[in-house]
Chain A
Amino acid sequence: MSGANLRCGRCSSVISDDDLRCPICNLTTPVSKSVDRANPVVDILRCSGCGAAMTYQVAKRAAACAFCGSVLDVEHPADPMEEAEDRLPFTVDSTQARHAFAAWLGTLGWFRPGDLRTGARLETIQPLRWVGWVFDARAELSWTADTDADTRQADWAPHSGTTELNYDDVVVPATRGLNREEVAILLPSYDLASRSEGTDLVDDATVERFDVPRSTARIRLVEAVDGLARRRLGERHLPGRRVRNLRIATILRGLEARRVTFPAWVLAYRYKDRLYRTVLSGQDASCLKGEAPYSVARIAAVVAGGVALIALLALLGIIL
């Protein structure tokens, strides 16, 4: 990741040059101005318009001139909606996506309509760059929990410990266009090392935007780290098989997040007047998540056959 980042002096997390405080540990960010004064300096704020003295006015939340109304704005901390910094390239073009889609239609099994492959009509095929954060961080976790390890009379025994977890290239989706299931299927197909490298086969893709300001994005990242810590602790670090009352205190360090776009193909096809959607990774055509109709007739036939078979067996039982 980029090396020119400003880092917090306490937790080493990456901070923006317009942050007032570190978003992770709240340490004040260094101020560049440092004026050594030997004597007191007396300052009267003057209105640049009429020369009158300006005072801070509550209604304007800023210093304003009582005579001509001009306002000196207070510096507000920036909280922008940020754009993606890196993009993973499309390595699957639209032809490959179409072929993969057609092949997928043929692999859906017997419970789908027999004419699905021939009857499905592809309406649109859109390249989409969906957005997410990719972060690195270290977490020092202190935890306590009741587990079923080392119990005596009670079913639970108290345990405590400290664990260090490292997160490398963990993706937190920020997309609104794709749902959680689609993202979960597509994620393993991406090569995060290919960020901003390699030939991009598509250059007219719709680029999703991060629809949350920076402050909210950071809250979501920290929540994601906490959620991940809880899962990893439960899976690997706690003794016993059953756990309750898991409590975690976290010292998060070195959080560095990049805003990345991930390539995907979104296909809409029509089968018998209904639209279905399929999403396909832009880096691996075999990685696909889609909706498809079921054949009611075939399912009914199987159910009827099953019922008939049971009835037949019952009849045989009675006869024998």
Chain B
Amino acid sequence: MALAPLELSCESCGAKLVVQATQRTARCPYCDSPSVIDRPATPDRPDPVFAIGFSVDGNRARQNLRSYLNSHRWAPSALRQATVERVEGIYLPAYLYSAIADSRYRALIGEDYTEMEYDAKKKSMRRVTKTEFRELAGRHRCYVEDLFVTASDGIPNVELERIEPFDLGGLRRYASTMISGWISEEPSLNRDASLALARGESRNDVLQRLRSFMPGDSHRQLQTTTDLTDEAMDLVLLPVWVCAVRWRPDKPPIRLLVNGQTGEVAGDVPTSWRKIAAVVGAALGVLGLAALAGALLGWFV
């Protein structure tokens, strides 16, 4: 059920304000006073526990966006030259997840050994490396920690992952002083959806760990099952600069994100097939010219 917008009076000038249910902060359009709204906590919209403050200001975010676009040589020229206009600093809601991962695994572990074999062609003995596969099963228990998943249906998890990592040394207990004057969203993804994302990421993380946990010279047929217990998930507000770049009137703008703590930029920059076709065409033209010149000069006679 969509939550109703909140109507309130500005504490400074008394003007009526309408704050969308997805927003945690507001600015009065008449007197520019910044408000922070603390709504009653619900399971899907808990109170923030932590926040990471912005360390990158708007100017640096714009510079980083400019360099990011310039670094994409195969992007359409119109996009590379597009002006970065509106850049919004937003505190994005995300969950910080941790748990104990208890896994059972089974795999075939390859142990290499060498043997002397007769080489009929060379009529001599030669040393060959062979692999003996032995079955290994066992248990692996570890902590899964410091994992962020989005709590916003506006910014999907894959987009958030691209501007990670955030330095958890900058984690502070949430206080309205950290977001006053900035746009801050309330969680818009329900908690179960975020939890499912976190569990999926955790299982992937544990699988990676299990791959490097296997002994031997190689392994194959790794099968694992992982239970996650002692789970904890806390709402964190992450600093993100969001920028929509419109580069052609007939195309939708592309969205770029800048990590407001580290300055890391990410986004889907399209490739210009015209540019690629032009370069391939030019290369073919040069080759054709060279072949023609060669034919005329009798190189291939």
A interface, CB within 8 angstroms of B? 10-11, 20-21, 25-28, 31, 36-45, 53-56, 58-59, 61-63, 72, 74-77, 140, 142, 144-146, 152-162, 244-245, 247, 249-251
**Contact: B40 with A44, CB < 8 Å?**
no
Q: What are the nearest 8 A-B pairs in CB distance?
A: A55-B181, A160-B138, A154-B111, A63-B177, A154-B113, A158-B109, A26-B145, A58-B57
**Contact: B213 with A140, CB < 8 Å?**
no
For B209, list chain A residues within 8 Å (CB): 249
B interface, CB within 8 angstroms of A? 6, 8, 11-12, 32-41, 49-50, 53-57, 96, 98, 100, 109, 111-113, 130, 132, 134, 136-143, 145-146, 171-173, 175-182, 209, 212-216, 230, 232, 234
* Partner of A42 from B8, B134, B215 at Cβ < 8 Å: B8
Shortest CB distance A259–B (Å): 23
**Contact: A251 with B53, CB < 8 Å?**
no
**Contact: A53 with B12, CB < 8 Å?**
yes
**Contact: B172 with A75, CB < 8 Å?**
yes
Given known A-B contacts A10-B100, A43-B176, A44-B34, A56 and B138 have beta carbons under 8 A apart: no
Q: Which of A27, A36, A56, A245 has the most CB atoms of chain B within a 10 A radius of its CB?
A: A56
* Partner of B98 from A26, A42, A155, A250 at Cβ < 8 Å: A26
**Residue in B closest to A24 when the chains form the complex, CB atoms:** B143
Q: How far is the CA of A72 from the CA of B111 in the complex (A)?
A: 62
**Contact: A156 with B139, CB < 8 Å?**
no
**Contact: A38 with B40, CB < 8 Å?**
yes
**Contact: B111 with A158, CB < 8 Å?**
yes
Shortest CB distance B175–A (Å): 7
For A10, list chain B residues within 8 Å (CB): 100, 230, 232
**Contact: B98 with A157, CB < 8 Å?**
no
**Contact: B38 with A37, CB < 8 Å?**
yes
For A250, list chain B residues within 8 Å (CB): 142
Shortest CB distance B51–A (Å): 9
For B8, list chain A residues within 8 Å (CB): 40, 42
Q: Which of B138, B215, B216 has the most CB atoms of chain A within a 10 A radius of its CB?
A: B215
For A158, list chain B residues within 8 Å (CB): 109, 111, 134, 136, 214-216
**Contact: A56 with B178, CB < 8 Å?**
yes
Shortest CB distance A247–B (Å): 5
Shortest CB distance A240–B (Å): 12
Shortest CB distance B97–A (Å): 10
For A161, list chain B residues within 8 Å (CB): 138
**Residue in A closest to B59 when the chains form the complex, CB atoms:** A58
For A27, list chain B residues within 8 Å (CB): 98, 230, 232
**Residue in B closest to A51 when the chains form the complex, CB atoms:** B12
**Contact: B142 with A31, CB < 8 Å?**
no
**Residue in B closest to A244 when the chains form the complex, CB atoms:** B215
Q: Which of A72, A76, A154, A159 has the most CB atoms of chain B within a 10 A radius of its CB?
A: A154
Shortest CB distance B202–A (Å): 13
**Contact: A146 with B111, CB < 8 Å?**
yes
Shortest CB distance A103–B (Å): 52
**Contact: B136 with A160, CB < 8 Å?**
yes
* Partner of B213 from A39, A56, A247 at Cβ < 8 Å: A247
**Residue in A closest to B214 when the chains form the complex, CB atoms:** A144
**Residue in B closest to A10 when the chains form the complex, CB atoms:** B230
Q: How far is the CA of A251 from the CA of B139 in the complex (A)?
A: 13
Q: How far is the CA of A249 from the CA of B100 in the complex (A)?
A: 12
* Partner of A74 from B6, B142, B177 at Cβ < 8 Å: B177
* Partner of B38 from A40, A144, A244 at Cβ < 8 Å: A40
Q: How far is the CA of A21 from the CA of B288 in the complex (A)?
A: 67
For A55, list chain B residues within 8 Å (CB): 34, 180-182
Q: Identify 7 new A-B residue pairs, CB closer than 8 A, beyond the known A20-B171, A161-B138.
A: A40-B40, A58-B57, A63-B177, A154-B132, A158-B214, A162-B139, A249-B209
**Residue in B closest to A162 when the chains form the complex, CB atoms:** B139
Shortest CB distance A24–B (Å): 8
**Contact: B172 with A77, CB < 8 Å?**
yes
**Contact: A142 with B136, CB < 8 Å?**
no
Shortest CB distance B42–A (Å): 11
Q: How far is the CA of A25 from the CA of B173 in the complex (A)?
A: 18
**Contact: A45 with B49, CB < 8 Å?**
no
For A157, list chain B residues within 8 Å (CB): 111, 134
30 contacts between A and B (CB under 8 A): A20-B171, A21-B171, A25-B145, A31-B49, A38-B40, A40-B38, A44-B34, A45-B36, A45-B180, A53-B33, A55-B34, A56-B182, A58-B54, A59-B57, A74-B177, A77-B171, A77-B172, A145-B215, A152-B134, A153-B132, A156-B111, A156-B216, A158-B109, A160-B138, A162-B138, A247-B212, A247-B215, A249-B209, A251-B100, A251-B142
